[in-house]
Amino acid sequence: MRKTFIAGNWKMNMLPSEAAAFIGDLAAKTGDFKYGKVMVAPPFTSLPAAAAVIKGTGILLGAQNMSDEESGAHTGEVSPLMLKDLGVDAVILGHSERRLIYGENDAFINRKVKLALKHGFEVILCVGETLEERESGKVETVVEEQLAGGLSGIAEESLASITIAYEPVWAIGTGKTATPEDADSVHAFIRKIIEKLFSSSAAAEIVIQYGGSVKPENSAELMAKENIDGALVGGASLKVDSFYGIINFAKA
Ligand code: 13P
């Protein structure tokens, strides 16, 4: 039985004081988390403030990126050891903004996935096509390439620590959500690829989030789909009420 997993990717938003206040307010609303698994991913500079208040709330602490190296001459990078020391539980890797703006490719992302697993982090591995790729019929080719590349050399046992986030680039921050049917069919395809790369039980067990303009108004519909197990939320995760509305989708 796959557990619902709702994660907020705050991107380059939220000062330390805002992050701490948000977590306090969210924890007050969600109580004992009967809704499933919940995570927030503040920017690096807000992680210490978030870590100080998140302990004991049941909310997981995520980072939005991580270096592919542990230490040394890597100006501007943040090591897994540093994130571990702060109490970070999970890292988001391969986000389309990292791929498209900062040129991260599948081999580089794969190094990060392996290093994150080595240090005991949960990983959210993001995949998804651009509008151009969708319009030229390449959704499956792109998603398969990103999965095979990102998960290359990963042992099947490690999949228990990996969540896949399907985020069609054209739906991110645009207000355009993939229809629940479209998203579900790509999620089903992702399971097919996980079966091909690993096994049918791995395909049945892997948690797959949808991301791209998820909000309280559309979350119940998306989550009702067989292959959609959660959401990776950007804009709507920046306000406690809207993020809580998504976490609480079953009652929305
Ligand atoms: P939006 O929810 O703002 O579309 O962002 C989605 C996203 O990129 C989450 O990682």
Q: Mean pLDDT throughout 133-160? A: 97
The CATH number covering residue 221 comes to 3.20.20.70
Active site includes 119?
no
SS3 sequence of the chain = CCCCEEEEECCCCCCHHHHHHHHHHHHHHHCCCCCCEEEEECCHHHHHHHHHHHCCCCCEEEECCCCCCCCCCCCCCCCHHHHHHHCCCEEEECCHHHHHHHCCCHHHHHHHHHHHHHCCCEEEEEECCCHHHHHCCCHHHHHHHHHHHHCCCCCHHHHHHEEEEECCHHHCCCCCCCCHHHHHHHHHHHHHHHHHHCCHHHHHHCEEEECCCCCHHHHHHHHCCCCCCEEEECHHHCCHHHHHHHHCHHHC
> Is 252's pLDDT higher than 50?
no
**Pair 127, 147: CB distance under 8 Å:** yes
213 lines ligand 1 (CB under 6 A): yes
Nearest CA to ligand 1 atom 7: 234
For residues 26 and 250, the answer to whether their CB atoms sit within 8 Å is no
Mean pLDDT of 170-174: 89
Contact indicator for 127, 109 with CB cutoff of 8 Å: no
CA of 208 to the centre of ligand 1 (A): 15
pLDDT at 35: 66
Whether 248 has a pLDDT exceeding 90, the answer reads no
The stretch 242-249 carries a mean pLDDT of: 90
Q: Which domain holds residue 35?
A: 4-251
State the distance from the centre of ligand 1 to the C-alpha of 238, rounded, in angstroms.
11
For ligand 1, atom 1: residue with the closest CA? 234
Distance 10 CA to ligand 1 centre (A): 9
pLDDT per residue over 43-67, tens digit each? 999 999 999 999 999 999 999 999 9
Whether the pLDDT of residue 132 is over 80: the answer is yes
Mean pLDDT for the chain? 95
Is the CB of 170 inside a 6 Å radius of any atom of ligand 1? no
The pTM assigned to this predicted structure is 0.97
Instruction: Determine the distance separating the centroid of ligand 1 and the alpha carbon of 233, expressed in angstroms.
Output: 5
Among residues 104, 122, 129, 167, which one is catalytic?
167
The answer, yes or no, to whether residue 93 has pLDDT greater than 90, is yes
Is pLDDT at 243 greater than 70 in this prediction? yes
172 Cβ below 6 A of ligand 1: yes
CA 43 to CA 176: how far, in whole Å? 25
Task: Answer for the pair 152, 125: CB distance below 8 angstroms, yes or no.
Answer: no
Residue 95 annotated as catalytic: yes
Residue 33 has pLDDT above 90, yes or no: no
Structure tokens at 56: 């004991």
pLDDT at 183 over 60: yes
Residue nearest to atom 9 of ligand 1 (CA): 234
| d(C-alpha 138, C-alpha 156), whole Å | 27
Distances (CA, A) of 127 to 99, 109, 181: 10, 11, 18
* % of the chain surpassing 90 pLDDT: 91
Domain count, the chain: 1
